[in-house]
Structure 1
Amino acid sequence: MSHGEVPVAEARGRQSAVAIEDASLAAFYRDMTPPERRTFWACGVGWALDGMDYMIYPLVIGTITALWHVPPGQAGLAATVTLLASAIGGWGAGYLADRIGRVLTLQITVLWFSFFSLACAFAQNFDQLLVARALLGLGFGGEWAAGAVLMGETIRAQYRGRAVGSVQSGWAVGWGLAVLSQAILFSILPAETAWRWMFAVGALPALLALYLRMYVKEPEIAEKSRASQASGAARPAIWEIFSGPILKTTILASLLSTGAQGGYYAITTWLPKFLTSDRGLSIVGSTGYLAALIVGSFAGYLTGAWLADKIGRRNLFLVFSLGAVVVVLAYTQLPLSNSVLWLLGLPLGFFASGYFSGMGPFLTELYPTRLRGSGQGFCYNFGRGVGALFPALVGYLSAGASLASAIAIFAAAAYGLFFLAAFALPETKGKVLHAD
């Protein structure tokens, strides 16, 4: 909930949403109440484990294609199907969060994607794995939708960018956990067994649902909005985000999310394969290169979180989309030595990830409370759904061109779209939320 709207804020002197007394990254955390901190850590851990679950497949894609003789295009299809399903799951979970609550929806989605990660470990062929990944995607998309709205409504306006952006950095932590699991499991187990244990590890997020049930409370602003609907106010229709003045916002925000996620997934889905095929590294040998990417990604998330409140959400998107295009072209197209490539992984991870820190607060601020879950869930996950086509398209194009060129083409196109959509949308920095 926004502190501009609740008694807690009044006790603190009802600070201006724009006047930020402490501009440091950690200011919001020092000023948090215990319930806010529990929500922050629950969403941060949830996003980390969500990231771990998703990144397992890109890490084992090379092993699966070799064991089951799966062509690159079909292998990329599994990543695409996961993201397409997440688009449906995110919109549905966002709408559900507006009807039954943010916290309960978050619990359901965490349990869902944990179960189907475990199901992936028991797949006997690629078709079974494809179905399991699709079902996992429903919960994967829903977790972000419910968690981002929960965080956006819990933190006051002047700290929202840093708080939600810091939670977003949990994705890099989850990615790191997936890479660490790969390094350990592929070192001690044969490849045909290790990949199954990778997916089994992905079932661990189920434990988070217990914490959510015991310690995390529903934002007061969301409870007021649902109470108003229960007392006679019109309930939001699932199609309402496509009507009236909201329609333009939904279209532009969906295009923004498409560009942001299309570029990211075109890079991260195929980069492990690029390192082993185009650069000749072993699975274990590529770990250091992925580690550099992850460290850069983590730094990007935290820097993006700070910049979202410092220079605004829109300027963050414009700067980072341009930076991402430059670095990905250098990484994939220049004749660099492996040592230089390792160093370049730091800025690649930085620019290809950092802008996500502004996505959660930005989408939260674009919609009224009664439509926030539905609008935010749809736009972000529409981007996932269309961006989901990029891994498959990269895979199909790589059959006739180099994998490096395929990655560069689709990443550059996606970031161009991201830049244009960001330019067309308004700045929302400092916006105070209301129970409307």
Structure 2
Amino acid sequence: MFNIASRIDRLPSTPMLRKILALCGIGWLFDAMDQGMVSGVMAAIGKDWALSTSQLGMFGSSAMLGMILGAALSGMAADRWGRRSVITVTLVIYGIASALSGFSVNFPMLLILRFLTGFGLGGELPAASTLVSEYSPTKIRGRNVIILESFWAWGWIAAALVAYLLIPVYGWRIGFWVGAVPALFAAYLRKAVPESPRYLELKGKDKEADALVSKMEKEAGITYNHESSDTEMQMSKEHVSFLDLWSKKYRRSTIVLWVIWFGLNFGYYGFVLWTPSLLVGKGFALVKSFEFTLIMCLAQLPGYFSAAYLVEKIGRKKVLVVYLLGTALAAWLFGHAGSTNEVLAYGCLLYFFSLGAWGCTYAYTPEVYPTVARASGSGWASAFGRIGAFIAPMIVPVIYTAYGKEAGYTNVFIMLTAVFAIVAVVVGILGKETMGKTLEEISN
């Protein structure tokens, strides 16, 4: 063996790594754009098709159902057939289904296409974050994955602009079309993304793995003596099963990740998909609610960048706990906002802390499993989390309707506050720190 892991860990950031990060990030941006578009489309299509509150909840949850299946299957597929193939194929599925969503002629057709869109989206995210994590040296691994996740903010900002500028003029269909074509182009660009050297080494493709790492070493001006290689990876199997993730070796990591992913998904999608509609319910015009959402989305960027800095300074666990508690506090304040200024201020805090927590979660998730289980473990955690994303958009309207517009709005955010706080406690008690450790050290 050529000890691929230790060679990657001694590298600085190289042009090849930055290229991989950018190409994965562009696809991530369009995935986010689709998700961000849903809240704008939900508010507009509700009026256009005279949909009930429960139907809007189904619309918001349909893609989440697809994400559950996509995340679970793609994680196992990425561990069997490679990260590169999965991140390309799933982006194509997402792009085609999103484009066709704009041609929906009835509600059932729209639900089916949103399910397929979610399948592609849910499949891509765990595989892409795993690939970037495996290419990154220990000292910048967390930062790189959060930078990848920060492309999500740009996608939401683009979606908010489309919702604010185009949907009121051209209707909700334009929302699906605007992001679909660029997403398919991004899938084409991803043909240039190479496979993970750690994965290639695991599969016995030593020469291919060595060639990729040698290229990065050459870019960094580092030479490597192959004769000095002294570490040989010992793997008892080439992939793990779902049950293996619950063995004694992985159980603690699996429990913590599943709680994080479920809670974050439930809380996040409980407010982002419904924010424009809830603001309309508070008396703001539809265009004004889109404007508020756009302003709040801008707060995602400093949330990501501050988390990217802090994870390499104070650690993943501390950042997760702080940002989750910050999200809980912001959710409480947003639910009790009584003026326009308070809605904007507390909404910005909500987006700042929640997206910082998301970035740290994506950095933390692939770090707690070894290469043989990394994509599968990440995929199953994401899949379980999407159950929370599936449930939340249907629970929110029930609470909102049961208590009336004013009390219902407040109670929705009290519920979300409790969810974020519980996740913070679980991470604080059971989470383990991964900062400064190699992927091999963490998983042993």
State TM-score, norm by structure 1.
0.88
Q: Distance in 2 between matches of 1:136 and 1:410?
A: 28
Give the residue type in structure 2 aligned to 1:224. E
Partner of 2:70: 89
| Distance across 2 between alignment mates of 1:187 and 1:135 | 26
1:236 maps to 239
Aligned-partner Cα distance in 2 for 1:171–1:8: 26
Q: CA-atom RMSD, angstroms?
A: 2.2
1:283 corresponds, among 283, 286, 298, to 286
Amino acid paired to 2:70: G
Whether the 8 Å contact between 1:161 and 1:306 is mirrored in structure 2 is no
**Residue in structure 2 matching 1:272, options 266, 271, 276:** 276
Residue 124 of structure 2, aligned match among 143, 164, 179: 143
CA distance 1:124–1:251, change in 2 (3 Å): same
Partner residue, 1:430:
436
1:48 counterpart residue number: 29
Which residue in 1 is equivalent to 2:53? 72
Aligned match of 2:209: none
Alignment correspondent of 1:350: 352
2:101 corresponds to: 120
Instruction: Spell out the pairing of 1:122-271 with structure 2 (5 A cutoff).
Output: 122-189=103-170, 194-203=171-180, 204-213=182-191, 215-227=192-204, 234-239=237-242, 240-271=244-275
**2:423 aligned partner, one-letter code:** F
**Identity score, percent:** 27
Q: 1:232 and 1:275, CA in 2 relative to 1: closer, same or farther beyond 3 A?
A: closer
Specify whether residues 228 and 36 from structure 1 end up closer, same or farther in structure 2 by C-alpha distance, changes over 3 A only. Answer: closer
Give the drift of 1:72: 1.3
**1:27: which partner in 2?**
none
Listed one character per residue, the Cα deviations across residues 4-24 of structure 1 (whole Å, up to 9, x for unaligned) are 8254655x5xxxxxxxxxxxx
Q: Match for residue 16 of structure 1?
A: none
Give 3-state SS (helix, strand or coil) of 2:372's partner: helix
Quick one: distance in 2 between partners of 1:65 and 1:334? 25
Pairing 1:420–2:397 present: no
What is the deviation of 1:286?
2.4
Residues of 1 paired with 2:240 and 2:345: CA distance? 50
The residue type equivalent to 1:386 in the other structure is: G
Partner of residue 322, structure 1: 325
Instruction: Tell whether the 8 Å contact from 1:58 to 1:268 is kept in structure 2 after alignment.
Output: yes
Deviation at 1:202, TM superposition (A): 2.6
Asked if structure 2 preserves the Cα contact closer than 8 Å seen for 1:272 and 1:286, the reply is yes
Separation in 2 of the partners of 1:98 and 1:227? 14
Partner deviation per Cα, 1:220-278 (whole Å, 9 max, x = no partner): 1111112289x995232432212232123212210111112211111101111122221
**Counterparts of 1:50 and 1:84, CA distance in 2:** 16
Deviations 1:363-402 (A, max 9, x none): 1111010000000111123112223211110012212123
Cα distance in 1 between the residues matched to 2:410 and 2:235: 57
* 1:333-348 superposed matches below 5 A: 333-335=336-338, 337-348=339-350
Please tell me whether residue 300 in structure 1 is matched to residue 303 in structure 2.
yes
User: In structure 1, how many angstroms separate the alpha carbons of the residues matched to 2:235 and 2:154?
Assistant: 44
1:125-164 deviation digits (Å, cap 9, x = unpaired): 2111111111111111111011000011011111111111
How far apart are 1:319 and its partner, in Å? 0.8
Structure 2: any 5+ residue segments left out of the alignment?
A: 207-233
Q: Which stretch has the larger CA shift, 300-309 or 65-74?
A: 65-74
Amino acid at match of 2:69: I
SS in 1 for 2:386: helix
Residue 15 of structure 1 is matched in structure 2 by none
Counterpart in the other structure of 2:217: none
Corresponding residue for 1:372?
A: 374
CA distance in 2, matches of 1:9, 1:120: 43
Measure the CA separation in 2 of the matches of 1:4 and 1:241. Answer: 25
Q: Does 1:60 align with 2:3?
A: no
Q: TM-score, normalised by structure 2?
A: 0.87
Q: Residues 8 and 135 of structure 2 are in contact (CA less than 8 Å); yes or no, is this contact kept in structure 1?
A: no
Gaps of 5+ in 1: 13-30
Q: Would the aligned equivalents of 2:67 and 2:121 in 1 still touch at CA under 8 Å?
A: yes
Residue in structure 2 matching 1:361, options 363, 373, 377: 363
| Mapped contact 2:102–2:173 kept (Cα < 8 A) | yes
The structural deviation recorded for 1:187 is 4.8
Asked if structure 2 preserves the Cα contact closer than 8 Å seen for 1:49 and 1:174, the reply is yes
Q: Distance in 2 between matches of 1:182 and 1:272?
A: 10
The 1:370/1:272 distance shift into structure 2, 3 A limit, reads same
Q: Secondary structure at the match of 1:399?
A: helix
Q: Please give the alpha-carbon distance, in whole angstroms, between the structure 1 residues aligned to 2:411 and 2:97.
A: 30
Cα distance in 1 for residues equivalent to 2:74 and 2:285: 39
Letter matched to residue 183 of structure 2 = P
- Displacement of 1:333 after TM fit? 1.4
- Structure 2 equivalent of residue 108 of structure 1: 89
